[in-house]
Structure 1
Amino acid sequence: MEEQLPTTLTDRPKVLLVDDEESILSSLRRLLRGQPYDVLLATSGAQALEIMAQQPIDLVMSDARMPNMDGATLLAHIHQLYPTTTRILLTGYADLPTIIKAINDGQIHRYISKPWNDEELLLTLRQALEHHHSEHERRRLVQLTRQQNDQLKTLNSTLEKHVAARTSELQQTADMLDLAYEELKHSYVTGTEVFSLLANLRLPPAKQTNRQIIELVRVYCKLHGLDEGTSRDLTMAAALYNIGKLSWTDSMMITPSDMLHHIDRDRYREYPKQSESLLMTLDPMKDAARLILHHQERWDGSGFPDRLKGEAIPFGARLLKLAVDFIELQRGLILERQMNSDEALVYIRSYSGRLYDPELVEDFIQVCAAYLSDVTLADPSVKVLTTRDLAPGMILARNLNADNGMLLLNAGKVLNGPLVDKLIAFETMEGAKYSVFVKIPEEVEALLERETS
């Protein structure tokens, strides 16, 4: 039977909270007091279904772990019986099978972990209800269009003026449908960004990456005029590229990938596919999920999961890998040592043609220069030299740090012979290899040219 929609949305939305712990329900009720919606409570899945049988519910937020009927099962029942009700899973466990079941069977709108952040939970509920309202309005407009089409069929073909008026109304309705659909697509982008912020709570602030990757991808899309669809898919992929890591232990989450061994390294290589499998059931996320699946492929074919090579790797996945590696190198999530932005770009440039698309690398460096104020590598007057290529009179373009993070020389320091010799000796003693960012005055460059001629 086709669902009958109300003509207006003047009634306050109704939110049903389901948790077998009275204390959790009490905390949520206090938090939601004064919000512009009515809150109902249920302590079990059976009680929740009884409430929904008696009155329409706009949004259900259920705990994942409950006796008799768990949250994923409850949300799956609600999806079958009341498909238009928005569904959110609330859990204190990083239980990947439960999350997958809730996404696949219950087609949940969001996933929130306990303990929650009050402001983020309120924001999530508000956006979920806005999404519900947008969906309701879209269905109402579709139903209205069907009704108008039925009426149009009954009109006499000779009533040309009447037909013209109806045609104009239909065009307006179609425009409204397009607007509603665009709003729906925008809500998906917003939703992925909110979810990425929640997922980042698993990491300490110094290790969080998603926000910076999203912003960097947006700068690239804007500077290169990428179309709206491509930009939207790249933004969603940047927000959720690491969702497959949520089931990892805390220690594995912060360990550099090059330091993982045995089972942990195998799990690391599986995370792009796990991320993709979590998102593929959501139609607006399918293209973004494909970019996530392949963002750890390498230009030379040595990557994972499918060992794609060269242009067989989707363009968006190649760009996403550059952005992910640039930020993760600075967070210490790839190598044991955290790099600054210029060092990360030197690393990326050194692997051009092996890990990265060589045609994208230099372009990406210019975008990073526009994105970050501390990137000196894009300045044509700055050179990157080894210690043995240094010469007196050169000027440090940025601080020089040892591998252990100790500051060796400040930016602006003018090099002399004894200082260069000390750097070479210290580098040899440490077994390190420094990349030194310098500016070369014209007189020094002329002297070097005379010595080599």
Structure 2
Amino acid sequence: MEEQLPTTVTDKPTLLLVDDEESILNSLRRLLRSQPYEVLLATSGAQALEIMAQRPVDLVMSDARMPNMDGATLLAYIHQHYPNTTRIMLTGYADPSAIIKAINEGQIHRYISKPWHDEEMLLTLRQSLAYQYSERERLRLVQETWDQNEKLKLLNATLEKHVAARTSELQQTADMLDLAYEELKRSYVTGTEVFSLLANLRLPPAKQTNRQIIELVRVYCKLHSLDEGTSRDLTMAAALYNIGKLSWTDSMMSTPSDLLHHNDRERYRGYPKQSESLLMTLDPMKDAARLILHHQERWDGSGFPDRLKGEAIPLGSRLLKLAVDFIELQRGLILERQMNSDEALVYIRQYAGRLYDPELVEDFIQVCAAYLSDVTLADPTVKVLTTRDLVAGMILARNLNADNGMLLLNAGKVLNGPLVEKLIAFEAMEGAKYSIFVKVPEEVEAAILETS
């Protein structure tokens, strides 16, 4: 079958929507009624292919689960016979095998979950068509460059002025190609963030991590003025660091890694390599995939998968581990007890030089303070003490909660002797060990120095 001709820039884009449920197609048609698209509908893969054989189509959005020909098979066929047509998968369930097939064989551009948000759906379609235009423009420029090179061979040395003019044009063309390629790579960043929602679908809201890790990494990149390429790789790695967990059971997905049994623990240690393997087929993702591969390495060499040590661990992987652990400690995905932000940073500081790069930890704490308003540890006037180190007159810098989540004391509470004794007794009764975040007034500090 011959490849369809690309739609010109001035044409109204043609969208083909494929779903065996007519109610879904009707909802999409209503949503797109006011948009500048020509919308075609098909209730099966076979009908969709009949339409594409008769006319050019710019974008196909297909449901994943359909009788006779599923969405992944349809999109793989379209990728083979109509490679210039952008492909999007729409599904209401998380099926890793179908998603992987759609990525590897169908080379899908985006993944959208049901039910969708109308604004997000419209934005995804606009971005997908913009990406398609960018790619077509890039191919046009490549062809134009080839044509110009052929003309230069004929002109040769006898047309020096003409050669000089063409050389200038070629430079401009090369610059345009670079811009087009950069735009393509930025499109991948957006695509990875959309795709990261797939991992979140497997977890309850209280256990989801990807969005917070992406935002934290972006704050780090901005505060340190990292170059665009490094920032892009870190952002994509943050979005898809846990894609290798998609084949896990729901129970394993939400169980703290510290509580996993032997077989599950071995599977857990394999998820960075699995994540890397899924992403290495996508060329713009290769550097991000390498960061993901090594983000569970430890500074002392006890991590996985390759037991890298110290600066042998890529810097981006060391940064990603700090961000991942900071968020996952608060979600109860590492230890059974969910920590607050300051407790997570105390944990990270405690393991600096063992799990984490000691040169990055304090700087990372300052970044977290810029990212979250409830981080007090970055304040030099705040101290972290045990209950037996407390002194009357100290002021709580943040709420104190028992291990079961019960609020014991509010931030701003001024401690006194009887209250400190009650805290010590309650801690012993619970068998717990509290970390108390306090501010120490100057007069209390002076009294402590006099008695020491």
1:210 is matched with 210
Residues 138, 181 of structure 2: 8 Å contact kept: yes
- Give, in angstroms, the shift of residue 427 of structure 1: 0.5
* Residues 1:264 and 1:31: Cα distance change in structure 2 (over 3 Å): farther
CA deviation map 1:370-397 (0-9, x unaligned): 2222221111121111111112222222
- Give, in angstroms, the shift of residue 124 of structure 1: 1.7
2:54 is matched with 54
Aligned partner of residue 158 in structure 1, secondary structure: helix
Residues 16, 42 of structure 1: 8 Å contact kept: yes
- Give, in angstroms, the shift of residue 335 of structure 1: 2.5
Return the alpha-carbon distance in structure 2 between the equivalents of residues 115 and 95 of structure 1. Answer: 16
- Give, in angstroms, the shift of residue 251 of structure 1: 4.7
TM-score in terms of structure 2 length? 0.92
RMSD of the TM alignment (CA)?
Answer: 2.4
1:67 is matched with 67
- What pairs with 1:154-233 in structure 2 (closer than 5 Å)? 154-155=154-155, 157-197=157-197, 199-233=199-233
Aligned partner of residue 258 in structure 1, secondary structure: helix
Residues 103, 278 of structure 1: 8 Å contact kept: no
Residues 217, 234 of structure 1: 8 Å contact kept: yes
Q: Larger deviation: 429-438 or 30-39?
A: 30-39
- What pairs with 1:20-59 in structure 2 (closer than 5 Å)? 20-59=20-59
Residues 2, 81 of structure 2: 8 Å contact kept: no
Residues 103, 281 of structure 1: 8 Å contact kept: no
Aligned partner of residue 379 in structure 1, secondary structure: coil
- Give, in angstroms, the shift of residue 243 of structure 1: 2.3
Return the alpha-carbon distance in structure 2 between the equivalents of residues 3 and 143 of structure 1. Answer: 17
CA deviation map 1:165-210 (0-9, x unaligned): 2222222222211111111111111222233346434444433322
Aligned partner of residue 57 in structure 2, secondary structure: coil
Q: Larger deviation: 66-75 or 225-234?
A: 66-75
Return the alpha-carbon distance in structure 1 between the equivalents of residues 341 and 95 of structure 2. Answer: 35
Residues 200, 210 of structure 1: 8 Å contact kept: yes
Total equivalences in the alignment: 452
2:292 is matched with 292
2:100 is matched with 100
Q: Larger deviation: 314-323 or 111-120?
A: 111-120
CA deviation map 1:382-437 (0-9, x unaligned): 11111111122222222222112222222222222222111111110110101111
Return the alpha-carbon distance in structure 2 between the equivalents of residues 24 and 397 of structure 1. Answer: 52
- What pairs with 1:373-392 in structure 2 (closer than 5 Å)? 373-392=373-392
* One-letter amino acid of the counterpart of residue 166, structure 2: R
Paired-residue identity, %: 87
- What pairs with 1:225-374 in structure 2 (closer than 5 Å)? 225-261=225-261, 264-374=264-374
Residues 45, 70 of structure 2: 8 Å contact kept: yes
* Residues 1:309 and 1:274: Cα distance change in structure 2 (over 3 Å): same
Aligned partner of residue 62 in structure 1, secondary structure: strand
* Residues 1:198 and 1:31: Cα distance change in structure 2 (over 3 Å): farther
- Give, in angstroms, the shift of residue 135 of structure 1: 0.4
Residues 110, 194 of structure 2: 8 Å contact kept: no
CA deviation map 1:285-322 (0-9, x unaligned): 11111212222222233333333333332211111111
* Residues 1:128 and 1:290: Cα distance change in structure 2 (over 3 Å): same
Q: Larger deviation: 278-287 or 75-84?
A: 75-84
Aligned partner of residue 159 in structure 1, secondary structure: helix
* Residues 1:63 and 1:267: Cα distance change in structure 2 (over 3 Å): farther
Return the alpha-carbon distance in structure 2 between the equivalents of residues 22 and 443 of structure 1. Answer: 74
Residues 17, 42 of structure 1: 8 Å contact kept: yes
- Give, in angstroms, the shift of residue 158 of structure 1: 2.8
Q: Larger deviation: 250-259 or 415-424?
A: 250-259
* One-letter amino acid of the counterpart of residue 236, structure 2: M
* One-letter amino acid of the counterpart of residue 366, structure 2: Q
Residues 111, 194 of structure 2: 8 Å contact kept: no
Q: Larger deviation: 42-51 or 135-144?
A: 42-51
Aligned partner of residue 270 in structure 2, secondary structure: helix
- Give, in angstroms, the shift of residue 70 of structure 1: 2.4
Unaligned runs of 5+ in 2: none
- Give, in angstroms, the shift of residue 267 of structure 1: 4.2
Aligned partner of residue 87 in structure 1, secondary structure: strand
Does residue 14 of the first structure (1) align with residue 14 of the second (2)? Answer: yes
- What pairs with 1:371-450 in structure 2 (closer than 5 Å)? 371-450=371-450
